[in-house]
Amino acid sequence: MIILLATGGTIASVDGPAGRRVGRAGAELLTEAAKVWPIPQQVDVRDTRALVSSALTAADVQELARHCGNSRPVVITHGTDAMEETAFAISLLRGPTDPPVVFTGAQRPFDDPSPDGPRNLAAALAWAGSPEARGTGVSVVFGDEVLPAIGVRKTHTLSLTGFSAPGRGPFAVVDEGGVRKFAAPELPTTALTNADLEIEGVEVLSVQLGMTNRSLDAALASDAALVVEGMGAGNAPPGVTARLVTAVEHGRPIVVTSRTGAGAAVGLYAGGGADLARAGAVFAGDLSTSHARWALAAALSHGQRWKVRLKEWLRQAGCVGAEPLAPAQE
């Protein structure tokens, strides 16, 4: 049996005078999906929320994680705005031997003349019910592709292939040819935390040219941990870098990501990322900023060992290498 958790989102929305609103339940979504391909096994439909995903809270994500359990495959219909965050957050709470959790949704509403939701849900159910999905953790099925929760991003606002995993790519496909798996996602051996994620204690600082001290002052005035979304491979203007270095040296948890959308954040440049790395900031490799925020929140549940635990998790997840490569010496 597959458990289908319906949370709302575009896949369950209909157009109205004030804009799109969630207006369809999980059973209706399943009925439409069954018109695309036969459902592989019995489905237990549970409606848990009726919201667009931008309206979800951290508490909603925690509750959804508890609904997943650890005995049966789960498919979650979810809004696309925050799907990458919820999928990643739940992946932090699960181990590689847990049953698969599969997210899907739609870019077009339920009442669109040519909706994409039914096919996406049919594919997600086929994937979740397939032996190939075992041991693949949490994934996102969208536009016939199966993408890893670790690394997935919404990369287009409206396209029917709105999700990708830069540098990692899809590891399986589901279409008229069936379920075909051609790779395996990198999965840490254990969950990053077994505690509730206190995401409210982690803030994001986006680095821009010409940024004023106001945003930096506000970030450093609080006691929140920081994810610094840097330029390029993780750089900031020298004045910003210097203040962040001081914060790290005084014990502020800081994780560095890249705003580019693909590739690894690495401390390479003097006056920028290299200074932050030497001071002890953690570079998150190819994790997006939103993913790094959840990962840092999970790591902080380990107290003073947060940095050791986070670095190990990043290595096991394929986000960073075991050792950085130094330039060859002549």
pLDDT for residue 40 is more than 90? no
199-257 pLDDT per residue, tens: 989 999 999 998 878 888 888 998 899 999 999 999 999 999 999 999 999 999 999 99
Predicted confidence at residue 142, as pLDDT, reads: 98
Which fold would CATH assign to domain 199-316? Answer: Rossmann fold (3.40.50)
pLDDT reported for residue 71: 87
- Strands (E) located in 78-154: 101-104, 138-142, 145-148, 153-154
3-state helix, strand, coil in the chain (%, to 5): 35, 20, 45
Question: Each residue of 102-132: b (16+ CB within 10 Å) or e?
Answer: bbbbbbbbbebeebbbbbbbbbbbbbbbbeb
- pLDDT at position 326: 64
Question: What are 287-299's pLDDT values in tens digits?
Answer: 999 999 999 999 9
Q: What is the mean pLDDT of residues 117-143?
A: 97
Q: Over the stretch 61-70, which tens digit does the pLDDT of each residue have?
A: 999 999 998 8
Do 285 and 257 touch, CB atoms closer than 8 A? Answer: no
Higher pLDDT, 325 or 29: 29
- Write down the pTM of the prediction: 0.95
Classify residue 21 by its DSSP letter: E
Query: What is the pLDDT confidence band of residue 98, given thresholds at 50, 70 and 90?
Result: very high
Give pLDDT, residue 70: 84
Whether the domain at 2-181 and the domain at 199-316 fall into the same CATH topology? yes
Residues forming the active site? 10
Burial class of 326 by CB neighbour count within 10 A (0 to 12, 13 to 18, 19+): exposed
Nearest to 74 by CA among 144, 154, 6, 171: 6
Domain boundaries, the chain: 2-181, 199-316
Question: Model confidence at 261, in pLDDT bands (50, 70, 90)?
Answer: very high
Average pLDDT, the chain: 94
Question: Does 329 have pLDDT greater than 70?
Answer: no
% of the chain surpassing 70 pLDDT: 97
> In sequence order, which residues have a C-beta less than 8 Å from that of residue 29 and are 6 or more positions away?
4, 6, 11, 12, 77, 110, 117, 118, 121
Count of Cβ atoms closer than 10 Å to residue 303 Cβ: 8
What CATH number belongs to 2-181?
Answer: 3.40.50.1170
pLDDT in the model for residue 24: 96
> For residues 57 and 224, what is the distance between their CA atoms, to the nearest angstrom?
18
Q: Note the pLDDT of residue 327.
A: 67
